[in-house]
Amino acid sequence: MRELLAVVIDGAIYASWLFVVAIGLTLIYGVMKILNMAHGSLYALGAYAAASLGGAWLAGGHSPYASYAILVLAALIVGLIAGPLLERGLLRFMYGKDEIVLLLVTYAVFLILEDVIKLIWGVDPYFIAQPYGMLGNLDFAGLTYPVYSFVLIAVAIFTGIGVAWVLQRTRPGKLLLVVIHDREVSLAMGINVSLFYLATFTAGAMLAAIGGALTAPTVSVVPGMGVEVIVLAFAVVVIGGLGSLPGAALGALIVGLVRSAAVHYLPQVELFSIYLVMALVLVVRPKGLFAGFEARKI
């Protein structure tokens, strides 16, 4: 029983940051029809920015409790710089091309960003462990977890609710849904579509960076850390259904739980269990578990 609980909690912790990353991926795909392979690099950029900015903050002897805000701030800065730079500088010239061409374009961006990270931060690992341990531990039915892990879960839940609220309750969000539904009609109705594209990509980049910034204290920040995250995030959005918000939540939970179940019960299958689930979902429901009907436009 306790082991089962451990599986669920571990899974939820793993799912939390993955969800924040994947929600950005699915948002970008939903609006722009771009499956962003550079998303993992944005995640890594967020982690690096958080590690160096947060490290500088702590080294300066400032309040360690403010370092959480610094982590998020670092991610927002990354998103605000990288998002518009990529969207305005590159992607906007590619709209209208095939989805697969866009995939290749973002693959090229991934290659570029991997080296940009090495150029800026070098190849040595960065650590920023203080925010992780600072909040102490929490005993939970005989299991001990760092409080930070629960903070991660809370952040993920609030992010999900926040994005859903923006999309469904605010005017820009509703307009964005209109753009998703029909780009050309929205243009004709006077919606500034390219502004929405810019905002979406920037928001997606920010979410990826926040995912990276919040995991930075729990891992060592090393070159290539985005390489695995991108396939994990792909697995999440593919399982849930590309472009679906509840799908990303469900996908993240499934990936998290499958992984932690594998780690606890059958460590040999840890790595491929996630991809097995991804492949199975693709086989049974190619458009993902939450994919709605696509209205045919003539």
Partner 1 sequence: MNARDRTLVTLVAALVALLALGALLPPWQFLATVALAKGCAVLGLMLLLRTGLVSFGQGLYFCLGAYSAGSLGQFFGVTDALVLLTVGSLVAAVVAVVLGFLLANYRSIFFAMLSLALSMILYGLLVKSEALGSTDGFNVTPPTLAGSAISGHDGRFSLYALACVVAFAAALSLDRYFHTPLGRLAAAIRDNELRVEYMGASVRQAIHVKYVIACSLAGLGGALTGLTVGHIDPEMAYWTTSGEFVFVAILAGTGSVAAPFLGSVLFEIVRSVAYQHSPNTWQLALGTAMLLVIMFLPNGLWSMFATRGKAA
- Interactions with partner 1, residue window 158-217 (CB under 8 A): none
Angle at 68 (CA atoms; ends 263, 145), nearest 5 degrees: 30
Contact pick of 126, 127, 145, 275 for partner 1 (by CB under 8 A): 275
Separation between Cα atoms, residue 13 and residue 54, nearest integer Å: 22
- Identify the bridge partners of residue 137 per DSSP, sorted by sequence position: 146
Q: At residue 292, what are phi and psi to the nearest 5 degrees?
A: -85, -175
Least distance from C-beta 86 to partner 1, angstroms?
11
Identify which range of 20-28, 61-69, 130-138, 233-241 contacts partner 1 by CB under 8 A: 233-241
Comparison of 100 and 298: residue with beta carbon closer to partner 1: 100
Identify which range of 166-174, 211-219, 226-234, 251-259 contacts partner 1 by CB under 8 A: 226-234
Question: Which helix (H) or strand (E) segment is 206 a member of?
Answer: helix 193-215
Least distance from C-beta 241 to partner 1, angstroms?
12
Q: Give me the sign of the Cα torsion angle 280, 281, 284, 286.
A: negative
Angle 171-181/147-169 helices, nearest 10 degrees? 70
- Interactions with partner 1, residue window 12-41 (CB under 8 A): 35
Site string for partner 1, 75-114 (x = CB under 8 A): ---------------x--x----xxxx-xxx-xxxxxxxx
Q: At residue 186, what are phi and psi to the nearest 5 degrees?
A: -60, -40
Comparison of 3 and 99: residue with beta carbon closer to partner 1: 99
CA-based nearest residue to 176, from 161, 197, 160: 197
Give the other-Cβ count within 10 Å of 274's Cβ.
21
**For residue 263, what are the CA distances in angstroms to 93, 215, 266?**
44, 19, 6
Least distance from C-beta 109 to partner 1, angstroms?
7
Least distance from C-beta 235 to partner 1, angstroms?
7
Contact pick of 119, 141, 188, 298 for partner 1 (by CB under 8 A): 119
Comparison of 160 and 288: residue with beta carbon closer to partner 1: 288
State yes or no: residue 231 binds partner 1 (CB under 8 A): yes
The span from the first CA to the last CA of the chain, in angstroms, equals: 55
DSSP 8-state code for residue 216? G
Identify which range of 126-134, 181-189, 207-215, 227-235 contacts partner 1 by CB under 8 A: 227-235
Separation between Cα atoms, residue 76 and residue 162, nearest integer Å: 16
- What are the residues binding partner 1 (CB under 8 A)? 35, 90, 93, 98-101, 103-105, 107-116, 118-119, 123, 227, 231, 234-235, 238, 242, 268-273, 275-276, 278-279, 282-283, 286-287
